[in-house]
Amino acid sequence: MSTKTIILRLTVLATLVSGQAFAAQTEQLTRDSGAPIGDNENSQTAGPAGPVLLQDASLIEKLQRFDRERIPERVVHARGTGAFGEFVPSADIHDLTVADVFKPGSKTPVFVRFSTVMGYRGSPEQARDPRGFAVKFYTDQGNWDMVGINWPIFFIRDAIKFPDFVHANKPSAVTGVQDPDLAFDFFAHTPEATHMLTRLYTVEGMPDSYRHMNGSAVHAFKFVNAEGLVHYVKFAWRSQQGVHGLKPDDIAKSLGNDWNMMSNDLYGAINKGDFPKWDLYVQVLTPGELGKFNYDALDDTKVWTGVPEKKVGTMTLNRMPDNYFESVEESAFAPSRLVPGIEASEDRMLQGRLFAYADTQMYRLGANYQQLPINRPLTPVVNNSQDGAMNASGRKGNINFEPSGVHELAQDPKYKYAATPVSGVTQQMAIHKPNNFAQAGEYYRGLSDADKGYLVEALGGDLSKVTNDSNKYAMLSYFYKADTDYGTRLAKTTHSDVGRVKTAAALLQD
């Protein structure tokens, strides 16, 4: 296809979606230093499948500035609830990983923090929002943070877009009120969010309690065994209590009864001795199997279809915090907090989170936040980090550097990171197999007739509030591309022109 043809089709699509040609305001995007930015949607990577580069100054600055927007409340996941418990492995997977947390016969203490994403601390828990599902394992090899949500996917696939995603969904910078026009202005230009939005607006997308929802680490990680062999893995929590949600009509009723319903339900169950449990499952792929799909297997907007799950353990929550602030508020999670045998994958969203989560916790709680009791590992901490606000490490002696012939710190080569091959040149480009709509359609077609109706009712209700015609028709074209019945029903619910939606959808890439 020629460049002229592509430009013509894009022009036609813009006209069809908006109903008229229009000129957008255009200004050169820059960094805080005034330097112009060439690509604000794709992080710089080492080749098409390589990891994100720390030298991407635009990415680092954007995440650093975003992490420092709120004090002292969390920027996201401010409304949270936590509980203590234990994890017991049920399968011997030493052939996949040397992580002690999966050693047969072991029992690992955990702390879990559930949360909503966009609401402020104290906001109602009945939010049309993903639910945070963060687990801190206090293992014999240090702390492992599995930082996830109640869905196996996310809205965006590159961390460079995360501040924009949050800004669009947080309250307006002018009115201080959340605005669907702002949210769908972002999503209308982010077709990769179609899958997540479809799941979010189902009944399951509004859990009636934290006990009645599943969890996921979302991203692919790596298992590394004693021989250094690498497998890619995804983690998923399955609630033994079952999965239950609120229908659209029930949300307002529950708000009137108790807007702390999820916290009260969790603590009420624990106080009665009805301890909630989740089974942990893993999906495993070899590096050579990553390319077998018609989508990028490291794209966090996708699930691994057709890959079997294996149960590897069970988590039980059995104790409430004695002090909400010192446990729930001062707890700090970061996906970079890994243990030997578990490493990060090249997933672009994860690569940004590895930096951003630890950075935001350090900003929020201080440089020594990992010395707080809730974050302190059970194993001794031995390094040359020193000083800073609220330091209580107890480090002694003159030798605060390494190497040293006076005080040697052992370094075992078996704990080195696994080798990862990279190829190509550094780049700033979108992934090659976006496949933005197929899995949203597959998920929709797997719903019952009743659940399809609830999804269309909930999502159509919010789309009806969008006053920007261009954005509304763009969204409708995405859902139509995912599934014609899905898009048609949403178009009718929002009193939109089905023909215009169909024409716009036909111009979208699969």
Q: Could you give the CA distance from residue 366 to residue 75 in angstroms, rounded to a whole number?
A: 15
Q: Which residue ranges make up each domain of the chain?
A: 71-377
115: left (phi over 0), alpha (psi -120 to 50) or beta: beta
The CATH code belonging to domain 71-377 is 2.40.180.10
Q: What is the pLDDT of residue 23?
A: 53
Report the candidate in 150, 108, 138, 151 with the shortest Cα–Cα distance to residue 262. Answer: 150
* DSSP, res 3: H
Residues in the chain: 510
Query: At residue 17, does pLDDT exceed 90?
Result: no
Query: At residue 411, does pLDDT exceed 50?
Result: yes
Query: At residue 16, does pLDDT exceed 50?
Result: no
Q: What is the pLDDT of residue 67?
A: 82
- Token pair 């650093």 is found at 64
Q: Tell me the pLDDT tens digit for each residue of 315-368.
A: 999 999 999 989 999 999 999 999 999 999 999 999 999 999 999 999 999 889
258 burial level (CB within 10 Å; 0-12, 13-18, 19+): middle
Helix (H) or strand (E) holding 230: strand 230-239
- Which stretch of 162-176, 232-246, 381-395 has the lowest confidence by average pLDDT? 381-395
Instruction: Tell me what the mean pLDDT of segment 3-10 comes to.
Output: 47
- Computed over every residue of the chain, the mean pLDDT equals 91
70 pLDDT tier (thresholds 50, 70, 90): low
Q: Comparing 68 with 47, which gets the higher pLDDT? A: 47
Q: Tell me the pLDDT tens digit for each residue of 171-186.
A: 999 999 999 999 999 9
pTM of the shown model: 0.90
Distance of CA 100 to the CA centre of its chain: 25
Opening angle at CA 31, ends 26 and 35, nearest 5: 85
Q: What is the pLDDT of residue 300?
A: 98
Query: At residue 501, does pLDDT exceed 60?
Result: yes
Report the candidate in 236, 225, 234, 222 with the shortest Cα–Cα distance to residue 342. Answer: 222
Q: Tell me the pLDDT tens digit for each residue of 103-137.
A: 999 999 999 999 998 888 888 888 899 999 999 99
Q: What is the pLDDT of residue 25?
A: 72
Whole-Å CA distances, 195 to 342, 456, 475: 28, 14, 12
